[in-house]
Amino acid sequence: MKFEHIDVGLSDPVATITLDRPTKLNAITLTMLSELIEAAEQISESDARTVVLSGTGSSFSAGMDIETFSAGALLEPDAELRYEAAALGGRAAAALENMPQITIAALCGHVVGGGIVLAAACDLRIAEEDTIFSIPEVDIGIPLAWGGIERLVREIGPARTKELVLTCRPFPAAEAHHSGFVTSIVGSGDAPGKAMELAETIASKSRFAVTTTKRHVAEILKGDLSRDDAFGLVAALDDPAWLRHRDRYMEQFN
């Protein structure tokens, strides 16, 4: 797949999506958002079991490219066209979140505004120790959009979300880890490799069990507690692949 502002590696078992505007610190454009939607749709239909989302160069993403607000679709005279452009980020975040694969964000450098929302749309997040996060939207007079508030409340709680969004203060990787937004911290330059290592570990496990776990967590977050766990267990036992995973697991006790 060839794109202008992202690079995609479509393989089995681990696919990769890389934000690819290093000279702009991977600042997000409407083109990049459209490409993320297309890439997520194609990877969702592939044999990949996990996905690593990262950024080229020194930063994951400096947020929405400020030039987007001074030209192009966001300034269309037609209100409907302006809305479609403004909603593109939410669609991109939802496309990442709704992928059946486990998604892992490898974070470094600056993770700003919309970049935080894209990372929050992933299942797991690994950050390098010198990563700096910030949410500057309120300082520039706009609310955090793209489902960012919902995802931050889900990951770090309502009070911390309000404090970080309203003060716009930068916060380090250690605080992001303490709050639960980041699942682990690694050394400088290590996030892509550690994310790939984790992706390969998860990809080696039963596809049915992994995707069912992801769906189950999503349902619980939406307040749906009706899933029949026993049905899922029986369905898994009908899959011949479970014998291979069972035998591999039991080997460690022999």
pLDDT tens for the chain, 254 residues long, are 689 999 999 888 999 999 999 999 999 999 999 999 999 999 999 999 999 999 999 999 999 988 776 666 555 556 666 667 678 899 999 999 999 999 999 999 999 999 999 999 999 999 999 999 999 999 989 899 999 999 999 999 999 999 999 999 999 999 999 999 999 999 999 999 999 999 999 999 988 889 989 999 998 888 876 666 666 666 666 666 666 666 666 666 65
Domain boundaries, position 58: 6-203
Domain count, the chain: 2
Non-local CB neighbours of 128 within 8 Å, separated by 6+ positions? 107, 108, 109, 173, 185, 186, 187, 188, 189, 190, 191
Same domain assignment for residues 68 and 141: yes
- Whether 84 is covered by a domain: the verdict is yes
Same domain assignment for residues 93 and 178: yes
Q: How many CA atoms lie within 13 A of 206 on its CB side?
A: 21
Same domain assignment for residues 198 and 219: no
Same domain assignment for residues 233 and 196: no
Instruction: Decide which of 163, 186, 203 is a domain's last residue.
Output: 203
CA 116/CA 52 separation, integer angstroms: 15
Same domain assignment for residues 146 and 220: no
- Whether 1 is covered by a domain: the verdict is no
Closest CA to 108 of 186, 207, 199: 186
Same domain assignment for residues 79 and 198: yes
For residue 91, what is the domain's CATH number? 3.90.226.10
Same domain assignment for residues 184 and 147: yes
Same domain assignment for residues 245 and 230: yes
pLDDT of amino acid 229:
67
Query: Which tokens in the block code for residue 40?
Result: 């997520």
Same domain assignment for residues 176 and 80: yes
pLDDT of amino acid 69:
65
Strand stretches in 121-163, DSSP E: 124-128, 132-134
What sign for the dihedral angle of Cα 174, 175, 179, 181? negative
Contact predicate 176/133, CB 8 Å: yes
pLDDT of amino acid 87:
85
- DSSP code for 64: B
pLDDT of amino acid 38:
97
- Whether 184 is covered by a domain: the verdict is yes
Same domain assignment for residues 54 and 67: yes
pLDDT of amino acid 157:
96
Strands 171-172 and 124-128: unpaired
pLDDT of amino acid 151:
96
Same domain assignment for residues 20 and 121: yes
- Whether 141 is covered by a domain: the verdict is yes
Same domain assignment for residues 46 and 141: yes
- Taking the CA atoms of residue 222, residue 214, residue 126 and residue 24 in that order, the dihedral angle to the nearest 10 degrees is -70
